[in-house]
Chain A
Amino acid sequence: MTLLLGDSSAPYQAFTETLRQRLPASIRLSVREPNGSVGASDLVVAVGMKAAESAASDPRSPILAVMVPKSGYDSLFLGQKMPQGISAIYLDQPWERQVDFLYAVLPDVERVGLLYSPETRLEISPLLNSVANHGGSVVAQSVQSAERLFSSLERVLSGSDVLLAIPDSRIYNATSIRNILLTSYRHEVPLIGLSQGYVNAGALAAIFTLPEQIAEQTAKQIVAFEQRRGLAAPSYPEHFTISLNNQVARSLEIRLPSESDIRKRMRNTGGAER
């Protein structure tokens, strides 16, 4: 079994550590960096997009791409012929779950603000549907360039009850997040983020899956693969983490439900863990 790591930074280390703990001792892992030849293996577990690309270039083994966003995975593998089989455990949350989470946190939201750049390549219709199912609508605003972020922000915020972050680093990055959070705070519009980092920075809440949680799911799939010699269909993460920023909530006079209440509400609307 080959474990192909996209990076040696903390999330990948955390993933590897948990995976090692969860795998039975009988399964041997050989950890590689994604450069050079991957070599033939029973199964290549590619962690992250860089590793997945590297694995795709040498499709002699079945590939399980994990910790990859669905859009990235689709762009890489959709329509490609992978003789040995391919599957994935995505990193991102399905839109339905994301929207159910948003409404569990903020039940009264009518207008969900969304910023996207011309490079945004996301399957957005499930988002529009999910928001409509909750009785809301989406206010989308394109950001043509970094210089225009300011006026785009002002426009989307003046017509939104909440701003929903999407995985687009052209809009949401370490330098722009300050502008986004300060401006949205001034408009008293909370931001729903994509990670603990967003919540630390000042987002109201975020739903995300930790590398450790992906690793657990990966371990299960590897064991199943060993038993059945086959890969399951690509799937979203089973488990997720909820993070809430109580300081920001209090300041915006938003009464946040407890995490267990949020999970309960999500189960009722169908977006909970499956």
Chain B
Amino acid sequence: MGRCLHKKAKTIFGCESMIPFLYRLLAAIIYASLLGQPSWAIDASGEQSYFEEFPVVLSASRLKQPQSEAPSAMTVIDREMIVASGARNVVDILRLVPGMYVGYDSGNVPFASYHGATDQYARRMQVLIDGRTVYLPPVGGVDWLDIPLHIGDIERIEVIRGPAAASHGANSLQGVISIITRDAVSMNGASVALTQGNGGISEVTGRLGQSGDDLDYRLTLSNRSDHGYDLKIINDGSRTSQLNLRSNYRLNSQDSIDFQLGYSDGIRGAGNMARFNPAGGFTEPPREIKTVSDYLQIDWLHALSDGNEFKLNYYHISRSYLDNMPVVIDKQGYQIHRHELGLQHTLPQGEHNRLVWGANVRHDTADDPLTFRSPQALNVFQVFVHDEMRFSPSLLANLGAMYEDDGMGHRNWSPRATLNYHVTPEHTIRAGASMAYRSPVMFEQYADTSYLVSRPFKNVRSVNPEKIVSKEIGYLGEFKEAGISLDARIYQDRISDYIFLDPYVAAGPVLTFGFANLLAESHEGFESTLKFRWGERSNLVFNYAHQRVNCAATGIMTLAAFIPRLQAYVNQCSLLVPADSGSILLTQQLTPRLQFSTGYYHQEKVQVLDAQWPQNLMRRVDMRMAYTFGHQGEPGSGDISFVVQNAFQDNYTEYSNVPQKAGFVFNRRFYLNATLEL
């Protein structure tokens, strides 16, 4: 096609004969809009547009690292995948991570653990929300249902598979789940959403947001409930009300303050109608647990145009848990507080080197009179440094280390070194080694329930942190012509000083439980994610993990009588992870307004640490169909979606002991959601 000949044409019609119809139409639209504006706007035609000073928006901490240059294997689940999965809670989304185990102790106690080998207090992964760690005392792990976090506010979830203490802090023994929520600027207007389904599934969500010259905010209010497994025998329904606010205020072109707060108020059903007390009544009577969680977080970001960035942040988390257990004792509850102050400085050293260093101080308290004799407090201190060195366009090294004082008398270095070699720009090989620690949780170190007549806990031995040494080789490939990308790796993780129950006799006939570093575990495996996009409308994600675990008794138990029990655990250790597991997520845009997606989840037999029976093969299919209407983002627009979970009613049971014993299965669930922009 030729170029416009009329170089001096004043209007866009000057060379209309040269441009195709569509362009003429477009030009006409722009021209028409000009006709309505006779007044001449000098500010739009002056030279100021070229000299204006802008704030640094996409500074270092806002930019996500490309997978081909990341120092660890990483699974990124973005909003599209979250929506397509149809999941109602965060934990179910994690089924899309190769090697991740997702289970439910009961309908209101979901948990996730990477590389299995866990109990319901999965405590070998770090979990961060916008950099705030929600891996909480006294027992470690994460209470997923309670976190003030709405699934619709999540921008993406980055799951680092492997230890990453150097970049993500302590306790990232086996991996890190880092949840990044949507920016304050991401919502402009208001919307309401309603969900209704079987099993008591119900949710109401309201959102409000506004972006202004120097202040943005978004607010989400929600109330959700369900009947849990919906089984008569266990009382595991839940109802949760939440509020989440995020706002961003720009002081000037270099400084901004991000302010977040959240509040969650929940009622959890508890109790088991299958457990009777020989003396009469239930040992676990049906009752309600009340939980309240809140947080406040302030991040001050100072970003300079030379690439330097300072981030100073503070947050406070509090959580209270009150179990109205009428039989054994009057009330069982705890109150936790966490304060953390952190500083991070990113300093680019020319084009080929970028250094990040920082320090955090954390103060944790747990007031749990029935678990600890007195309120517990821990002061944790960390410094970290991470350097990204680019030796050539094809060779990149990531070196980093964290030094931690865990407040329990342990001081450890956690180093990591990785090389990423781009064989061609499309094909990358990554090789890395790292070391990390998990400090004992408060319960393991300080629990004292020696007043109990059954299973009292009181630790008398000194417990050291668990240690992991991890090695891996990974490959990332892009086959652009075919629309395929592949992420695969083999790994070997050796965990030593694994903390395990160590019973002893304190006084009288009652056996008291303490903890000791008794085991070593060796994990080996292969993980892969294949993404296939064909055409503009079809997208497939395929995850597969093959894993193997071996255990060995390495510590000495206090009572020789229990050595066979430890040995029995060692002998059946290989069942702690499913040999093969995987998932498939297919998204198909049927018409511009109609989208279909389906997820398939597969998990071979697995024995969770504290479950009495192994969990058999699980196969589950979820489906979602969604219709959108109106102009996206404008008032009057929205969508209607229908989700079915476990569509073919595969009879699989979850981890929990009770449903398994009773032969109960995860029943098919379906729900309808409608969202309207106001």
Contacts and interface: CB of A to CB of B under 8 A. Distances in A.
A253 B41 contact: no
B329 interface: no
Contacts of A252: 66
Contact of A69 (B4, B14, B47): B47
B26 A140 contact: yes
A251 B49 contact: no
B57 A194 contact: no
Given A119-B44, A132-B20, A178-B185, A125 B4 contact: yes
A9 interface: yes
Interface in B46-68: 46-60, 62-68
Contacts of B206: none
Contacts of A201: 54-58
A150 B30 contact: no
B214 A179 contact: no
B54 A133 contact: no
A78 B34 CA distance: 18
Contacts of B16: 125
A250 B73 CA distance: 17
A124 B30 contact: yes
A195 B305 CA distance: 13
Interface string A146-179: 0100110011001000000001111011110111
Given A123-B11, A128-B27, A248 B185 contact: no
Contacts of B18: 125, 129
A202 B57 contact: yes
Contacts of B44: 117, 119-121, 167-170
Contacts of B250: 178
B4 A72 contact: no
Contacts of B26: 128, 138, 140
B27 A125 contact: yes
Nearest to A200: B305
Given A175-B213, A246-B351, A138 B23 contact: yes
Given A169-B44, A177-B57, A132 B1 contact: yes
A251 B63 contact: yes
A118 interface: yes
Contacts of B633: 150-151, 154-155
B43 interface: yes
Contact of B3 (A71, A126, A250): A126
A118 B57 contact: no
Contacts of A121: 34, 40-41, 44-45
B188 interface: yes
Contacts of A96: 3
A255 B12 CA distance: 35
A195 B52 contact: yes
A220 interface: no
B55 A177 contact: yes
A272 interface: no
A174 B52 contact: yes
Given A91-B50, A195-B50, A250-B69, A132 B57 contact: no
A208 interface: yes
B52 A197 contact: yes
Nearest to A79: B10
Contacts of B454: none
A183 to B, nearest CB: 7
A59 B19 CA distance: 38
Interface in A37-71: 48-50, 67-69, 71
A74 interface: yes
Interface string A250-269: 11110100000000000000
A125 B632 contact: no
Contact of A248 (B11, B34, B41, B63): B63
A138 B47 CA distance: 25
A186 interface: yes
Contacts of B34: 118, 120-121
A118 B36 contact: yes
B186 A186 contact: yes
A11 interface: yes
A129 B632 contact: no
A49 B47 contact: yes
Interface in B178-232: 183, 185-186, 188-189, 211-214, 216
B15 A125 contact: yes
Contacts of A91: 47, 50
Nearest to B66: A253
Contacts of B482: none
A167 B60 CA distance: 27
Interface in B622-646: 631-634
A133 B67 CA distance: 34
Contact of B52 (A130, A169, A183, A253): A169
B57 A182 contact: yes
Q: Which residue among A6, A132, A181, A182 has the maximum number of chain B CB atoms within 10 Å of its CB?
A: A182
Nearest to A234: B8
B185 A177 contact: no
Interface string A193-206: 01101101110000
Contacts of A18: none
B37 interface: yes
B185 A119 contact: no
B188 A151 contact: yes
A101 interface: no
B604 interface: no
Contacts of A103: none
A142 interface: yes
A194 B47 CA distance: 11
B180 to A, nearest CB: 11
Contacts of B65: 250-251
A151 B30 CA distance: 18
A105 to B, nearest CB: 15
A49 B348 CA distance: 38
Contacts of A167: 44-45, 49-50
A216 interface: no
A247 B51 contact: no
Interface in A66-108: 67-69, 71-72, 74-75, 78, 91-92, 96
22 contacts: A9-B51, A72-B46, A96-B3, A119-B44, A120-B30, A123-B10, A129-B4, A129-B19, A140-B30, A169-B46, A172-B49, A174-B253, A181-B57, A182-B185, A186-B186, A195-B50, A202-B59, A248-B63, A250-B65, A251-B58, A253-B66, A255-B425
Q: Which 7 pairs across A and B sit closest by C-beta, in order of nearness?
A: A202-B58, A151-B633, A72-B45, A167-B49, A200-B305, A201-B54, A150-B188
Given A116-B33, A124-B12, A194-B49, 13 more contacts: A69-B47, A118-B36, A128-B26, A129-B2, A138-B26, A155-B633, A169-B49, A170-B44, A182-B58, A182-B185, A183-B185, A197-B52, A202-B56
